[in-house]
Amino acid sequence: MMQRRTLLKLGWGSAVVFALGGGAAALLQPGLEHGALSPRSRLVMARIATALIADAWPQGAAPDAQTMDGLLDRINEKISGTQDAVQAELSQLLTLLDTAAGRRGLVGISSTWEAVGTSELADALQAMRTSGVSLRQQAYLGLHDLIYAAHFSARTAWPVLGYPGPVAI
């Protein structure tokens, strides 16, 4: 049986290793570069967006490359309008999500971003949303709000909502 002191040492040791690993990853591949999504973060956000907005794409189909690039560009616009502190936190989150430990710990998937299925990712995101761990909920809400704001700001998404657009005055 493990003693309390040994368990505490193991916990602190694990936290230090995780912090050092995450810090090294952030230095090597930040989630944001000059206030915009890095190439790896574009992949992460594209995969998450595909799963989150599965039923709200125009014409009900998965997005093509041009549609996804437009969404990612609008996400960059939304990011550029945030404070530096918010951008730093988002960069850290995206960096963490790009690591195997972060992907497994926060999202709950072991597959790589390239290999994870859309329905598996949608289920994992739902688990994040309803998690009892506030960090997982906060990460989900931040990603959700950013993606939805960027998606529904495009005129092409309005018909799915039944929104005809602004009334001419």
pLDDT tens-digit readout, 21-38: 554 444 456 888 988 999
Tokens linked to 21: 């690993």
**DSSP E strand boundaries for the chain:** 32-33, 36-37
Mean pLDDT for 76-97 is 95
Alpha carbon separation from 19 to 61, 99, 136, 160 (Å, rounded)? 40, 12, 17, 43
Q: What is the pLDDT of residue 25?
A: 46
Encoded amino acid at 26, one letter: A
Q: Which two tokens stand for residue 19?
A: 């912090």
pLDDT reported for residue 13: 56
- pLDDT tens digit sequence for 108-140: 999 999 999 999 999 999 999 999 999 999 999
- Terminal-to-terminal C-alpha distance of the chain: 75
Task: Please name which of 51, 134, 147 lies closest in space to residue 90, comparing C-alpha atoms.
Answer: 147
List Cβ neighbours of 122 (8 Å cut-off, separation of 6 or more).
Answer: 51, 52, 54
Mean pLDDT of 57-82: 86
